[in-house]
Amino acid sequence: MSINEALKEILSSKQKRVLYTFFSKIKLLFLKKQIGKNSYIDSTVNIFGWAHVSIGENTLVGEQSWINVNGREKNFNHIVIGDYCYLGKRNLLSSSRKLIIGDFVMTNNECKFLGSNHIYNDPMSPYIATGTTNDDIQKIGANVWIGAGTIVLGAVTIGHGSIIGAGSVVTKDIPSFSIAVGNPCKVIKRYDFKEEAWIKVQDFDLNTEELMPLEKEYIKNLRKNTKGLEMPIMAATSKYGDLY
C-alpha cells in the first residue's frame, strides 16, 4: 500500500489539511519568515527576497508560484499578502515599491501581478542590466476574486469586493464592488447596495456609492463569516495526489 493510500485510509480531510500545513510550517520554522499561523506555502514556491515579504494567517500559496521582490529597502515589506488568501498555482508576484494583496483575495491559476518594469531609457544598454523601477504601489483590495490568466500591470488599485474576469489585463484602477473583464480591462457591472444586485455599469447610479462599506468595515463583516471556513489546501498542491 502506498503512503497516499495509507493516508486515505487513516486520515480525515481535516486531519490531512492540518498535517500538510504543519509540514509546511516546519520547513519554514528555522528560516524566521513572516508567515502567519495556519498558512501553507507549497514547497515548489520560489520566493526571492524573503526578508521583505509578509504573509498573513490562513493563507495558501499554490505550487510553482514565484514571488519576487525587486528593489529591497532594509526593514521594509515590499510584498504584503493578507489573511485568508488563496493564490492559485503558477502565480507571479513582482513588486515595485509595494505590492499589497488584501485579506480574502482569491486568484485562479496563472495570474500575474507585475508592479515593476525594467528601465529602458537607454536602448544601447542591455535591459537585463539596467535595473527595475521601484516607485509604484499596486494594491488588490479585500475579497477580490481574480480569474485565471489575469495580468495586473503597474501602479493600479483594484477596489475591494471586485471580480476580474479570466484573461483580463488590468492597466487602470478598478473601483470597489465592480465586475471587470477584457484587454484592456473594463468595468461592466457595479454592485448596487440599495438594490442588492449587480447592475450594468451604464445603469449604475453613482450616488449609491455612498452606501458601499469602507474596506475596514467590509473586512470586519467578512471575518464574521469565517466560522467553519476551511481553506482549500488540496487545490494549492498536487504533491500528495488525490487524497479525498
d(CA 156, CA 139): 7
- 118 among known catalytic residues: yes
Contact 165, 149 (CB under 8 A): no
Catalytic residue among 52, 78, 118, 160: 118
- Name the nearest CA neighbour of 180 among 198, 192, 196, 193: 198
Q: What is the largest CA-CA distance in the chain?
A: 64
Cβ neighbours of 209 (radius 10 Å): 14
d(CA 158, CA 172): 9
Question: Residue 122 corresponds to which cell in the numbers above?
Answer: 537607454
The set of catalytic residues is: 118
